[in-house]
């Protein structure tokens, strides 16, 4: 997210993120993505990722949406993307039945929904050194305080900072 707390512009554009110079650093992304079983995102994040270029994920993706249907998945992604209309608690039960243990939750609204129901155990947040002033917040109103324990920070020559938190009970 940007230093001022946004994961996208109001129109869900990521132009500010795409122009960041990383000098070939992967920032631990490859290791992280190899450690998860599924990526869960909302329809806005899905549409944004589709518009960025080549599909970036080899990990299976579940899109939570009330409006998207299977026909909205591009043909070349039908074996990689699944659309479900479920609440976080319904999806967690579904994932357990599939023996899926680790999920990466992506997208502001979806992260907030999973946090509100207590399903986020750890957070890995990358802070991008830019202020964009307005947009889609990763964290917004929560029904309760959520206590966190900082487990690790990593800084990179590109200016990005990774924060690793554990959510406290």
120-149 pLDDT tens trace: 999 999 999 999 999 988 888 777 889 999
**Quick one: average pLDDT of 38-45?**
95
φ, ψ of residue 72 to 5 degrees: the values are -80, -5
For the chain, helix, strand, coil in percent to 5 are: 25, 25, 45
Q: Which are the contacts of 77, defined by CB distance < 8 A and separation ≥ 6?
A: 55
56-71 pLDDT tens trace: 999 999 999 999 999 9
What domain range is 90 assigned to? 6-167
Lowest average pLDDT, out of 15-29, 32-46, 71-85, 95-109, goes to 15-29
Q: Which are the contacts of 120, defined by CB distance < 8 A and separation ≥ 6?
A: 105, 111, 114, 167
Beta bridge partners of 149: 166
Count of domains observed in the chain: 1
CATH code of residue 84 = 3.40.430.10
Tokens of 71: 């026909």
pLDDT beyond 90 at 19 = no
Residue 1 belongs to a domain? no
Mean pLDDT of the chain: 91
């Amino acid at each position: 997210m940007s230093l001022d707390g946004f994961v996208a512009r109001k129109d869900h554009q990521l132009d500010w993120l795409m122009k960041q110079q990383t000098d070939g650093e992967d920032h631990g992304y490859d290791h992280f993505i190899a450690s998860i079983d599924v990526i869960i995102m909302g329809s806005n994040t899905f549409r944004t990722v589709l518009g960025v270029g080549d599909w970036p994920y080899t990990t299976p993706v579940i899109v939570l949406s009330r409006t998207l249907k299977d026909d909205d998945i591009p043909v070349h992604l039908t074996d990689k993307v699944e659309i479900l209309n479920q609440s976080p608690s319904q999806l967690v039960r579904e994932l357990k039945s599939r023996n899926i243990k680790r999920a990466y939750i992506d997208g502001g609204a979806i992260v907030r929904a999973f946090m509100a129901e207590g399903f986020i155990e750890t957070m890995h947040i990358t802070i991008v050194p830019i202020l964009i002033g307005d947009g889609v917040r990763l964290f917004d109103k929560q029904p309760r305080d959520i206590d966190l324990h900082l487990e690790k920070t990593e800084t990179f020559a590109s200016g990005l900072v990774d924060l690793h938190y554990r959510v406290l009970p």
